[in-house]
Amino acid sequence: MSTTETSQFVRLRVELVVEVENVEAITGAALGRIAADADMPADERVHAESAVAEDTAEALAYLIDPFDLVGEVPGVELAQASWSSEGIDYDPDSPEWGLDEDDDREDEEEDGEDRVG
């Protein structure tokens, strides 16, 4: 079989750290998106509105859609996606905040190494 006849799946890992400059804007936009979702059941809507109002990270998760990241990429169809958000303590000058930190850890685990650092 040629490459064009088979489907190729690629896991794309993206980790973002964003600085929230306007909590009210994010919360308002998330509440607006929830209100515009006509297919959302009433009990789920109440839960979503409460979560968004109480937690900025939850509000941001309602606004970020993995499909938006690949929806315009030619020849790609999103097969599965999951994402989460959480508030963190972030110091960009700290050596602990390397962008590929998790990747290094996974490589060590695959190689059977377990470094204590």
Q: What is the pLDDT of residues 33-54, one digit of tens each?
A: 999 999 999 999 999 999 999 9
The average pLDDT across 2-17 equals 78
Please check whether residue 51 is in contact with residue 58, taking contact to mean a CB–CB distance below 8 angstroms.
yes
Please indicate, yes or no, whether the overall pTM of this predicted structure exceeds 0.75: no
Q: What is the mean pLDDT of residues 20-40?
A: 96
Asked if residue 1 has pLDDT above 50, the reply is no
Q: Report yes or no: 41 and 26 within 8 Å, Cβ to Cβ.
A: no
Q: Report the C-alpha gap between 40 and 48 in whole angstroms.
A: 10
pLDDT above 50 for 103: yes
What was the pLDDT predicted at 13? 87
Q: Which sequence spans correspond to the domains of the chain? A: 3-110
- Other C-beta atoms closer than 10 Å to the C-beta of 44 total 12
Contact 73, 55 (CB under 8 A): no
